């Protein structure tokens, strides 16, 4: 069978929208000393919770309170049910030319259409990958290599996911010039400051739709509008935002968009890259030429079917699930800032993801808080799971202007589809006491 040139696979367009953000309110951050407590929930919609209420909270091992949905989500039981036949009964390879392969191809393309609908795109614009990191590599490296005759300048931001930051370093080794845009104190990128960094050699801008750490939502529609007519392509890593904010490629002219299956309660180890029709990439993985020559390797059919099921459920539940998560988030923020002196909210007080509450506690280490909460059966994080093995403070918080000791005193709570209201009750039973105990032991905390 004839295959398209791996480097020349264009892909098609879509119809869809992206969410913007409002102007940040003045002030460094919301804090327990009279800061801005957020209420707006990340503007998200979802229908919701077709997952039965009685099932909420039962998806963590050992009955822990699980508030680390930014690092991993359980597979929704409805997704697992959709995947099951493809492990044992409908196991064909889409590349095979017999009837079993034909049925696999049909399932693959139906799933591609389902993921495309989730993004307001067309099926020909979706390429499946092994996850968001691979999608980011294909988007940035593939676009830079394919279009290097047009220029050698790429722009990313200081608050991008660690995978994008490391890809930026790799592109510099390949001879590209990479500019990193700093955020404001809330972690937001100013479109006009970004515009000022564009030169005649700029070919690509990459901005994350939202921060998976501090939850700040970027003004993607304004950035896309600003880039219109410049000939500069826009890549958006939407992993933190998918399933929480509406993503519609027909409304906002994004050229490349990264998504992950697990972040919408699908299986781990699977992702996709949206490639607007006419956008050309060079392949970065060589092999049998699957996925229009852009991503070789036999497709993970069961996982792809699961991702499509997860995308459909996320679309249906967005109008009710996002407000539910925002209510949990706002309650936790209000109670923490009121109950614990010298606590502060990191990230934007209003333009933030509906499930994210990220705090800084003066005078104590976030890791000590995390371990103390673990002893109480509560799972949280101090930042991105993808960079948790390092002792360095969060690059996002440092970029927002925090000192190293301030960044080290941060803690992240992220809610999800199976989070019950009772999780907040449990956190507030133990967190104030843990903070008091650690501060008594800390030489860093100012004594009253």
Beta strands in 261-355 (DSSP E): 271-275, 343-345
Radius of gyration of the chain (CA): 22
Long-range contacts of 151-154 (CB under 8 A, 24+ apart): 151/199, 151/200, 151/201, 151/202, 151/203, 152/176, 152/177, 152/201, 152/203, 153/177, 153/178, 153/179, 153/199, 153/201, 153/202, 153/203, 154/178, 154/179, 154/202, 154/203, 154/204, 154/205, 154/206
53: left (phi over 0), alpha (psi -120 to 50) or beta: alpha
State yes or no: is 386 an active-site residue. yes
Residue pair 114/308 in contact (Cβ under 8 Å)? The answer is yes
Helix (H) and strand (E) counts in the chain:
12, 12
Catalytic hit among 95, 113, 385, 386: 386
User: What strands lie across the sheet with 410-414, from one edge to the other?
Assistant: 343-345, 356-361, 410-414
Structure tokens at 164: 């994008």
Of 226, 242, 243, nearest to 234 by C-alpha is 226
How many CB atoms lie under 10 A from the CB of residue 390?
10
Of 11, 204, 260, 241, nearest to 122 by C-alpha is 11
Of 357, 369, 337, nearest to 434 by C-alpha is 369
Structure tokens at 298: 């036999």
Q: Specify which residues 177 forms β-bridges with.
A: 153
Of 327, 418, 423, 338, nearest to 373 by C-alpha is 423
On the 0-12 / 13-18 / 19+ scale of CB atoms within 10 A, 448 is: exposed
Residue pair 324/49 in contact (Cβ under 8 Å)? The answer is yes
Q: Report how far apart, in Å, the C-alpha atoms of 277 and of each of 274, 308, 312, 418 are.
A: 9, 21, 23, 37
In the chain, helix, strand, coil percent, each to 5?
Answer: 40, 15, 45
Catalytic residue list: 386
């Amino acid at each position: 069978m004839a295959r398209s040139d791996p480097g020349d696979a264009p892909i098609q367009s879509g119809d869809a929208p992206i969410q913007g953000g409002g102007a940040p309110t003045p002030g460094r951050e919301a804090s327990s000393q009279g800061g801005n407590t957020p209420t707006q929930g990340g503007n998200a919609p979802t229908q919701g919770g077709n997952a039965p209420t009685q099932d909420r909270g039962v998806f963590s091992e050992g009955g822990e309170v699980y508030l680390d949905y930014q690092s991993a989500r359980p597979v929704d039981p409805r997704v697992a049910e959709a995947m099951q036949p493809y492990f044992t009964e409908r196991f064909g390879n889409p590349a095979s030319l017999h009837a079993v392969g034909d049925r696999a191809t049909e399932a693959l393309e139906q799933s591609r259409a389902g993921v495309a609908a989730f993004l307001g795109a067309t099926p020909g614009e979706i390429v499946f990958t092994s996850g968001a990191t691979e999608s980011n590599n294909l988007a940035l490296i593939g676009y830079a290599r394919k279009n290097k005759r047009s220029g050698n300048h790429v722009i990313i931001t200081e608050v991008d996911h660690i995978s994008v930051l490391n890809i930026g370093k790799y592109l510099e080794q390949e001879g590209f010039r990479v500019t990193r845009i700093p955020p404001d104190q809330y972690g937001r990128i100013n479109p006009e400051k970004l515009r000022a960094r564009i030169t005649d050699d700029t070919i690509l801008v990459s901005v994350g739709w939202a921060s998976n750490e501090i939850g700040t939502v970027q003004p993607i529609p304004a950035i896309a509008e600003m880039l219109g007519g410049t000939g500069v392509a826009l890549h958006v890593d939407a992993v933190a935002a998918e399933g929480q904010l509406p993503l519609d490629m027909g409304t906002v002219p994004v050229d490349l968009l990264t998504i992950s299956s697990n972040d919408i309660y699908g299986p781990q180890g699977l992702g996709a890259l949206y490639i607007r029709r006419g956008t050309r990439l060079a392949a970065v993985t060589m092999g049998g030429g699957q996925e229009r020559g852009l991503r070789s390797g036999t497709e993970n059919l069961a996982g792809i079917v699961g991702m499509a099921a997860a995308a459909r459920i996320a679309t249906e539940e967005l109008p009710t699930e996002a407000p539910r998560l925002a209510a949990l988030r706002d309650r936790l923020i209000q109670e923490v800032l009121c109950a614990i002196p010298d606590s502060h909210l990191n990230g934007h007080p209003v333009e933030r993801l509906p499930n994210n509450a990220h705090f800084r506690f003066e005078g104590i280490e976030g890791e000590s808080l995390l371990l103390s909460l673990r002893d109480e059966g509560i799972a949280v994080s101090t930042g991105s799971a993808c960079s948790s093995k390092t002792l360095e403070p969060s690059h996002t918080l440092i970029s927002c202007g925090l000192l190293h000791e301030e960044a080290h005193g941060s803690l992240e709570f992220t809610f999800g589809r199976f989070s019950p209201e009772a999780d907040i009750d449990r956190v507030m039973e133990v967190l104030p006491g843990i903070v008091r105990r650690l501060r008594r032991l800390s030489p860093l905390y100012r004594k009253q």
